[in-house]
Structure 1
């Protein structure tokens, strides 16, 4: 470790000022680790203020200095290690951490996108590139998630509903990617997180006014799934992949959504190619027939009838493959005359398929457009949440106890 210290001390001209101050006091909020990039070969970094730098050596993480404000770095993956280039000077480390979760107002940038907290760069679990993780206090994470998931121009009570749902989802997701070194990702696979560029005053107010509040059922944080709009009726978790008592099918109030009702048409060649990507190759597609629907009417299983056979496919997989807004749809085959075929005909291959559907998303849990309408109708965020998540309790999380028990 002494060799690394010497290397950094000798580099003060490059913007690194050696400092071994006392460790900061433990933060009050719960940290969450967001995977921003995985197995990338190169990234660029920048800091907004004088920022602490730590590197991983043989005896763990040690603080070795500070980066001066506005310092830019290029980081490459080099033979299983992290190579840092500062003003044409290269140094190599096992891992690198820049920034601090306890330094208010300090920002770090990854490829020109600014984030609160710190950035950790380490070899990916596959050892094929760099994994970049943003560790940030949970409430600051929500400053970005809430407006990334729901327009910040919407009513405050709707935004507060989103804040509690997003916080609960985050808490229940901690450790989901533990083998990769983070808790959640920054995409819809977890929750959309765009850093500080997404933040807005009203959504930040919604986070602050619900500070620490989460939903529980049976004394445990729930899986707070949410979606854009349901098309008038949300889905029961039992009918999909989340058999939880609080995820019941309830009426929705999403009529103002542009996706409340939708129509789309796909050509024979488009459907054939997209189904081929799922491994379904049955010649020309003659018909798409729902074999099983959920109680709310969503397609659970679809039969694909072709000129060379037939196969069944899961409704959710079909939706993703075809790029449909939801599984809440009917479908008809259109012939060469532009008419709807009443039944499959091997001698008259459809030229296209017309989908008439409702809603956007999986349909479980809170409908964001429904929450908006309920807020406009005068409902408070707790009432909104308890409509979409049946039988839950909304409680303030004891962050100190949780932080002591949580071991990432």
Structure 2
């Protein structure tokens, strides 16, 4: 992407930190530093490629150490979003675009403002192995671009659009970039998925265990998030097994506020349409308790809610029903899939690509009733600048 293309691209603001006490900035080539002083924004000077700039948080302001002289400011900008070839560094990580620093009550908020397509250069290989088939990577690029667009405004009160973790999408800067994943981004430049004229919530996950989840059974009751057959058999998490002891079970349940004494059994009260656990009943010597399946998954550290569980007694035999006279020593889980199961299965997309499907067909399978087309930049700017 040349500088003219970068200027035409749309910016996205990525929150890298909201509570830093100290950061070190660097650049790959000479880059201007701007600071917010009482009289407004002004150019402080040029940061060269062989130097660093240390910024500390001090009483609600940014304190800069420049040639033994400490100065304080209300904001700092490093780099230009559309400057081709220049990288900006935060501590030990390099990014494209620019870095904006603002002091808040919690510390230093650091935002990387970067062209959307260049943001995807990092996101796509951070979310999907760059060695996978190109059509799978192109599917990931479209899903990631669409997800970013639909997420605008999620962190507006903090001064950015998305974060760099799985709370939004994993973004690791230039170190995660690869030629093939960048090719996937450029070959799908500007493509997003829409439904009824709006960018969809393009959820994705590692693998579903053979059947994706219906959005109506979770938090996303959208027509395009239906339960569909998956092709993720090659995933190491297609099926999985794990177990935990009686003491481990009681400890994990305690984190959910569930205290029923010795645990006698866990039984499924309700499943979703795809077969995932929606409600789990805990049977104990001192009572019973209903637990949400998704919360149980997190507390137990399971790969998904697509599981069965059995209680094993001291003889190593599976107990058929709970009994206060026979306290299980172990609980065994047999499950399928990894993740929430909504939207595109990444391992399924990989297999479909290996089978010769184009990214358009892969996306149509996992997001039915959607349209693949160019991003409406006017709508994007309305969302970006409300």
Tell me the TM-score normalized by structure 2.
0.96
Q: Structure 1 residue 175: deviation in Å?
A: 1.3
Aligned equivalent of 2:77: 97
CA distance in 2, matches of 1:240, 1:248: 11
Q: Structure 1 residue 393: deviation in Å?
A: 0.3
Residues 1:37 and 2:17 aligned together: yes
Give the match's secondary structure for 1:27.
helix
Alignment of 1:270-281 (within 5 A): 270-281=248-259
CA distance in 2, matches of 1:198, 1:73: 24
Aligned equivalent of 1:53: 33
CA distance in 1, matches of 2:179, 2:355: 23
CA distance in 1, matches of 2:70, 2:298: 44
Aligned equivalent of 1:367: 345
For each residue in 1:96-134, what CA deviation from the matched residue of structure 2 results, as whole angstroms up to 9, or x when unmatched? 11111111111111120111111111123xx02111111
Aligned equivalent of 1:154: 132
Residues 1:323 and 2:301 aligned together: yes
CA distance in 1, matches of 2:41, 2:253: 49
CA distance in 2, matches of 1:88, 1:282: 62
Q: Give 2:281's match in structure 1, choosing from 300, 303, 323.
A: 303
Q: Structure 1 residue 355: deviation in Å?
A: 0.5
Aligned equivalent of 2:123: 145
CA distance in 1, matches of 2:199, 2:110: 28
Give the match's secondary structure for 1:292.
strand
Conserved 8 A contact 1:366-1:389: yes
Give the match's secondary structure for 1:250.
coil
Q: Give 1:226's match in structure 2, choosing from 204, 209, 215.
A: 204
Q: Structure 1 residue 42: deviation in Å?
A: 1.6
Change beyond 3 A, Cα 1:358–1:382: same
Give the match's secondary structure for 2:45.
strand
Conserved 8 A contact 2:149-2:380: no
For each residue in 1:280-315, what CA deviation from the matched residue of structure 2 results, as whole angstroms up to 9, or x when unmatched? 222222111111100110001111122222221111
Residues 1:402 and 2:380 aligned together: yes
CA distance in 1, matches of 2:11, 2:307: 41
CA distance in 2, matches of 1:235, 1:293: 11
Conserved 8 A contact 2:153-2:384: no
Conserved 8 A contact 1:28-1:400: no
CA distance in 1, matches of 2:216, 2:378: 34
CA distance in 1, matches of 2:230, 2:40: 52
For each residue in 1:142-195, what CA deviation from the matched residue of structure 2 results, as whole angstroms up to 9, or x when unmatched? 000000000000000000000000000000001101111111111111100000
Q: Give 2:149's match in structure 1, choosing from 155, 166, 171.
A: 171
Moved more, 374-383 or 83-92: 83-92
Tell me the TM-score normalized by structure 1.
0.91
Residues 1:85 and 2:58 aligned together: no
Q: Structure 1 residue 51: deviation in Å?
A: 1.0
CA distance in 2, matches of 1:60, 1:221: 37
Change beyond 3 A, Cα 1:60–1:358: farther
Root-mean-square deviation (CA), in Å? 1.7
Give the match's secondary structure for 2:7.
coil
Change beyond 3 A, Cα 1:91–1:282: same
CA distance in 2, matches of 1:383, 1:197: 30
Q: Give 2:323's match in structure 1, choosing from 321, 342, 345.
A: 345
Change beyond 3 A, Cα 1:25–1:191: closer
Q: Structure 1 residue 26: deviation in Å?
A: 8.9
Give the match's secondary structure for 1:223.
coil
Q: Structure 1 residue 398: deviation in Å?
A: 3.2
Moved more, 90-99 or 235-244: 90-99
For structure 1, the 5+ residue unaligned runs are: 1-23
Moved more, 244-253 or 271-280: 271-280
Aligned equivalent of 1:355: 333
CA distance in 2, matches of 1:57, 1:29: 30
CA distance in 2, matches of 1:402, 1:60: 29
Aligned equivalent of 2:47: 67
Change beyond 3 A, Cα 1:401–1:217: closer
Aligned equivalent of 1:210: 188
